[in-house]
Amino acid sequence: MVAGHLQEKKGLFYIVLSYSDRDGKRKTKWVPTGLPIKGNKRKAETMLQEARKTFVADYVPVAEDMLFVDYLTEWLEIAKGSVALTTYASYSSMVKNTIIPYFKPKEFTLIGLQPRDIQEFYTQQLKRVKASSVIHYHVIIHRALKYAVRTDLIPTNPADKIDRPKMERFVGSFYDSDEMNSLFEAAAGTRLELPILLGAFYGLRRSEVIGLKWDAIDFANETITIRHTVTTCNLDGKQVLVASDTTKTKSSMRTLPLVQVFKERLLDVKAKQEYNMKLCGRSYNKEYLGYICVDEMGNILKPGYLTTSFPLLLEKNGLRKIRFHDLRHSCASLLLANGVPMKQIQEWLGHSDFSTTANIYAHLDFNSKISSAQAMITGLKLPEAQPAMGMTAALPDETAKPVLS
């Protein structure tokens, strides 16, 4: 049975079949179902299974003959149409630069791949990279093999029997209020000033800072809505700018109050942009007119610029080294220090669930532990400590003078 999947295009379901010709070259065949997407997924899936069973190519490789690395290459092409561009770029980089180079010399077939083979790969990688990277490799391998099971290329997923490495507990660096104020002074008047202020006060991610647009600012109702992101990814050796009207998670899309100091600053930024556009005329880059974080010529500040320029600013001004993303951690730590509940911090930062916030910032929340201890003392009548037997009489009178004999 050939591999295949459903693809949505122009409001209709299409069947995409993947097979190899006599020369071993991968081919795809698109078959229209004629079914509208809404309400027809189950019917389309039935048609897909039937098409896979009945499709006959000049040569269809038997699963026993297919090498695991060849299958990964095929799967990458299939995954390309079902994941975000940044996700595909990440998958492609890890598969081509790490996973395939390791497995290719071993010549494991897809059907012959064993759990111990995958486990050995993880063990070797842990000697050179962090557990978080190996977890990413596991996600890719597991997902690829899951598709192989779904398309009847293998009976079971060997990655199901592997215990993925445990993620190290992350402890982010953060600035206190004094360090933050020193940073604001250092950034004043530079291109980094506004991104730093947004990252520190609102706890915005780098992609959210760069992706902030004027239509997200409601000056009348004094709100700022986080709903657009800009990232970069390495696609086939080229850095590609990816703008998206979606955030990292659904919860990351949030509306926050536009405080007066930011309202005034953003109005000033808007006025300067309009002035620069008139001044530069045709030389002004109008591609990014809707964005807030642009330079004098209208060019968007790219994510890489923040990553590389931020540490240079810190070094130049003798400030402690942190990452741009650590401004987000600094925001959370200052909120905690000022008594803001963890649940509210979750909503402010746009975390998808409470546990994410708690796991990252629980080590900072010592004040809540002190409050809990005080509540227990108030609620319980704890008995006072009693002196040990004979200790009272033995205590010296500190005011008494020594007797000289």
Q: What is the CATH number of the domain that holds 350?
A: 1.10.443.10
**Spatial CA neighbour of 291 closest among 212, 225, 230, 404:** 212
Residues 306 and 319: beta-carbon distance below 8 Å: no
Q: Which of 246-255, 257-266, 383-392 has the lowest mean pLDDT?
A: 383-392
Assign 333 to helix, strand or coil: helix
- CA distance linking residue 106 with residue 101, whole number of Å: 10
Q: Which of 49-63, 89-103, 206-220 has the lowest mean pLDDT?
A: 49-63
Q: How confident is the model at residue 369 (pLDDT cuts 50, 70, 90)?
A: very low
Distance of CA 45 to the CA centre of its chain: 32
Assess if residue 308 is contained within a domain: yes
Contacts of 73 (CB under 8 A, 6+ apart): 26, 95, 100
- CA distance linking residue 249 with residue 30, whole number of Å: 32
- CA distance linking residue 132 with residue 168, whole number of Å: 7
Torsion of CA 173, 176, 182, 185, to 10 degrees: 90
- CA distance linking residue 26 with residue 232, whole number of Å: 29
According to the model, what pLDDT value does residue 170 have? 62
pLDDT over threshold 70, residue 121: yes
Angle 346-143-116 from CA coordinates, rounded to 5°: 115
Return the higher-pLDDT residue of 383 and 326.
326
Q: How confident is the model at residue 112 (pLDDT cuts 50, 70, 90)?
A: very high
Q: What separation in angstroms does the CA of 216 have from each of 209, 212, 270? A: 12, 7, 13
Give CB contacts under 8 A, 24+ apart, made by 311-315. 313/186, 313/187, 313/190, 313/192, 314/183, 314/186
Q: How confident is the model at residue 402 (pLDDT cuts 50, 70, 90)?
A: very low
The answer to whether the pTM exceeds 0.75 is no
According to the model, what pLDDT value does residue 360 have? 55
Assess if residue 393 is contained within a domain: no
Length of the chain equals 405
Assess if residue 329 is contained within a domain: yes
Residues 91 and 78: beta-carbon distance below 8 Å: no
Structurally, how many domains does the chain consist of?
1
Q: What percent of the chain lies above the pLDDT cut of 90?
A: 48
Q: For the residues 384-399, what does the mean pLDDT come to?
A: 51
Residues 82 and 233: beta-carbon distance below 8 Å: no
pLDDT over threshold 90, residue 368: no
According to the model, what pLDDT value does residue 174 have? 85
Domain housing 353:
177-363
- CA distance linking residue 201 with residue 242, whole number of Å: 25
pLDDT over threshold 80, residue 176: yes
According to the model, what pLDDT value does residue 275 have? 96
- CA distance linking residue 202 with residue 211, whole number of Å: 14
Q: For the residues 113-128, what does the mean pLDDT come to?
A: 95
Q: What's the one-letter identity of residue 120?
A: E
Assign 8 to helix, strand or coil: strand
Neighbour tally for 235: CB within 10 Å: 15
- Most confidently modeled range among 15-24, 41-50, 245-254: 41-50
Assess if residue 241 is contained within a domain: yes
According to the model, what pLDDT value does residue 399 have? 47
According to the model, what pLDDT value does residue 393 have? 47
Q: Which of 167-181, 259-273, 305-319 has the lowest mean pLDDT?
A: 167-181
Assess if residue 112 is contained within a domain: no
Q: For the residues 116-126, what does the mean pLDDT come to?
A: 95
Q: What is the pLDDT of residues 220-255, one digit of tens each?
A: 999 999 999 999 888 777 788 888 877 666 667 889
Average pLDDT of the chain? 83
**Spatial CA neighbour of 116 closest among 104, 126, 124, 105:** 124
Assess if residue 300 is contained within a domain: yes
Q: For the residues 138-164, what does the mean pLDDT come to?
A: 91
Distance of CA 74 to the CA centre of its chain: 26
Assess if residue 319 is contained within a domain: yes
Q: What is the pLDDT of residues 64-73, one digit of tens each?
A: 678 999 999 9
Assess if residue 134 is contained within a domain: no
Q: What is the pLDDT of residues 58-105, one digit of tens each?
A: 444 445 678 999 999 989 988 887 788 888 899 999 999 999 999 999
